[in-house]
């Protein structure tokens, strides 16, 4: 079973969640290589006056397509390009969507899920869930503006006393939104506590458009359980993919055959990590590349005790050559167990 969004048959039921500062073209290419059916880009402000900053330029649809070759040199390509927009002005969002569709975006995604204070203070992200009439106008403006599918990512409501995800989903369906992803927390919850899935189940029962479940999905068994409980069409994995991009391989294997994938060899993981570093350096250049690599290396270091011990040294490296050499030393040494497994 696979998921389709508009004309795009995605070929799977496991998606990568957009995460600011993480889901750049190199990481999206890596996750796509391991089986993410869709890997949406980082949140982009609908205010086009901000698009000239280096950070925003790298989030544009054109940059995603141009960067696919470089980022995917060793890891596959970005695949379907989905651009996520954040904003609160319907006309501004519509114009931004037109620009991004014109640059090659296959899907426009609307961010109604980010709980960050700096985003919500601008009445963007999950803050919009409290203003249903405005959300309805935004949906209508976006769908009218572009010929490509429009999707939306939401939370279950402004706070636990007002979980309005079902009504938001119904507004989305009536407006022509192609799919909806629901994170099982409210805006007020931020990332505290545990995600709940009853609200996602209610959304799925209330609409006919594809529903994607998100929140606290970190293992194949959890993904299968959430799909079973909610009836959702797909799951979306976020933080669990950071440091373990092969989670999509594992989840797909479990959903397809209820089998646990054999663990990757250490030498295979070392190759993945080093290729990821190379793609980051190629995409960002020397100065930014080494800094962007640090957040990924910090998570890769959590894989086992001996790599955790090397974390401080890896994060202290201040140029790509020394960072890469140290990473090769830390991750790239085959052990006797690896050699035995490869026989």
Cα→Cα distances 149→80, 106, 146, 273, 331, Å: 12, 7, 8, 34, 41
Query: Would you call 154 helix, strand, or coil by DSSP?
Result: strand
Helices (H), the chain: 25-33, 54-57, 61-71, 90-102, 117-120, 132-145, 165-175, 198-206, 220-230, 247-257, 266-284, 286-300, 305-308, 311-316, 320-331, 336-341
Evaluate whether 110 touches 60 at the Cβ level (below 8 Å).
no
Query: Would you call 54 helix, strand, or coil by DSSP?
Result: helix
Cα→Cα distances 298→268, 301, 315, Å: 18, 5, 7
Evaluate whether 166 touches 206 at the Cβ level (below 8 Å).
yes
- Bridge partners, residue 8, by sequence: 5
Residues recorded for the chain: 343
Evaluate whether 119 touches 86 at the Cβ level (below 8 Å).
yes
> For residue 310, how many C-alpha atoms fall within 13 Å in the half-sphere facing its CB?
21
Contacts of 1 (CB under 8 A, 6+ apart): 13
Helix axes 320-331, 266-284, angle to 10 degrees: 170
Alpha carbons 1 and 12: distance in angstroms, whole number = 7
Residues annotated catalytic, as ranges: 114
Local structure of residue 58 (DSSP, 8 states): T
């Amino acid at each position: 079973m696979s998921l389709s969004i508009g004309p795009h048959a995605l070929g799977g039921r496991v998606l990568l969640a957009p995460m600011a500062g993480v889901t750049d073209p190199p990481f999206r290419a890596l996750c796509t290589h391991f089986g993410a059916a869709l890997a949406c880009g980082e949140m982009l402000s609908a205010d086009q006056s901000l698009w000239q900053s280096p950070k925003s330029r790298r989030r544009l649809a054109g940059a995603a397509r141009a960067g696919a070759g470089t980022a995917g040199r060793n890891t596959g390509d970005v695949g379907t390009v989905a651009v996520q927009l954040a904003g609160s002005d319907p006309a501004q969002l519509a114009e931004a969507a037109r620009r991004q569709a014109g640059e090659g975006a296959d899907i426009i995604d609307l961010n109604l899920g980010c709980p960050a204070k700096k985003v919500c203070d601008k009445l963007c992200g999950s803050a919009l869930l409290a203003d249903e009439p405005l959300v309805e106008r935004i949906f209508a403006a976006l769908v009218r503006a572009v010929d490509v599918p429009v999707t939306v990512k939401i939370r279950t409501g402004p706070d636990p006393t007002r979980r309005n995800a079902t009504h938001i989903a119904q507004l989305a369906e009536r407006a022509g939104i192609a799919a909806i992803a629901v994170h099982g927390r409210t805006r007020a919850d931020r990332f505290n506590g545990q995600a709940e899935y009853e609200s996602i189940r209610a959304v799925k029962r209330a609409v006919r458009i594809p529903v994607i479940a998100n929140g606290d999905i970190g293992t194949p068994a959890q993904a299968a359980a959430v799909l079973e409980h909610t009836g959702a069409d797909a799951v979306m994995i976020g933080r669990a993919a950071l440091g373990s991009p092969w989670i999509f391989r594992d989840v797909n294997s479990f959903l397809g055959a209820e089998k646990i994938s054999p663990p990757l060899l250490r030498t295979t993981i070392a190759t993945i990590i080093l290729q990821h570093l190379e793609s980051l350096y190629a995409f960002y250049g020397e100065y930014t590349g080494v800094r962007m690599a640090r957040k990924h290396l910090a998570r890769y270091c959590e894989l086992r005790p001996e790599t955790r011990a090397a974390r401080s040294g890896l994060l202290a490296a201040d140029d790509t050559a020394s960072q890469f050499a140290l990473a090769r030393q830390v991750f790239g040494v085959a052990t006797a167990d690896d050699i035995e497994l490869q026989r």
